[in-house]
């Protein structure tokens, strides 16, 4: 039994070492990936800061990676979070969304922020959480945008 534990431990160590060399793709397109969204939605400087600090890493093609993202298996975990976040809402794809889809995405944003589902708890451990004032600002901004999109439909 002790020999099996050593073999399993050695296999896990080898797998971790190999994982350091086989990395997931990074999500780094730069600012231009959110420029259309910001030009279209015209967020205030405060809202831009909230979006940049709490949303864009997982919901755009512009992720700013922390140092620990270079270490497997954390790199795989972060890549999964980013992929999943972009699947649900990607501001870099805003240009491709119809007015109806934009309205729906804003509705989801409001709901997720109100219910404290976003940002994810695992993100807030390191980056901090939104204050109640920031949540209210973000929700008010998104509600005003929804009113705009609803008036044009």
Q: Which residues of 17-40 are buried (b: 16+ CB within 10 A; e: fewer)?
A: eeeeeeebeebeeeeebbeebbee
Residue 55 CA to residue 63 CA, distance in Å, equals: 9
Cβ 113 vs Cβ 138: under 8 Å = yes
Which of the 8 DSSP states describes residue 95?
G
The length of the chain in residues reads 153
Over its length of 153 residues, how does the chain's per-residue pLDDT go in tens digits?
677 788 887 777 777 777 777 776 776 665 578 999 999 999 999 999 999 988 998 899 988 888 887 888 888 888 988 899 999 999 999 999 998 999 999 999 999 999 988 877 776 666 668 889 999 999 999 999 999 877 765
């Amino acid at each position: 039994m002790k020999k099996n534990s050593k073999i399993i431990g050695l296999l896990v160590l080898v797998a971790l070492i190999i994982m350091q060399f086989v990395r997931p793709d990074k999500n780094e397109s730069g600012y231009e990936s959110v420029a259309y969204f910001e030009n279209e939605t015209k967020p205030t400087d405060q809202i831009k800061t909230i979006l940049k600090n709490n949303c864009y890493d997982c919901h755009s093609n512009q992720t700013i990676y922390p140092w620990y993202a270079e270490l497997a298996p954390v790199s795989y975990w972060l890549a999964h979070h980013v992929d999943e976040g972009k699947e649900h809402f990607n501001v870099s794809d805003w240009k491709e969304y119809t007015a109806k889809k934009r309205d729906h995405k804003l509705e989801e944003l409001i709901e997720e922020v109100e219910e404290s589902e976003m940002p994810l708890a695992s993100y807030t451990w390191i980056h901090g959480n939104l204050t109640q004032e920031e949540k209210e600002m973000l929700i008010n901004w998104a509600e005003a945008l929804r009113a705009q999109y609803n008036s044009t439909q």
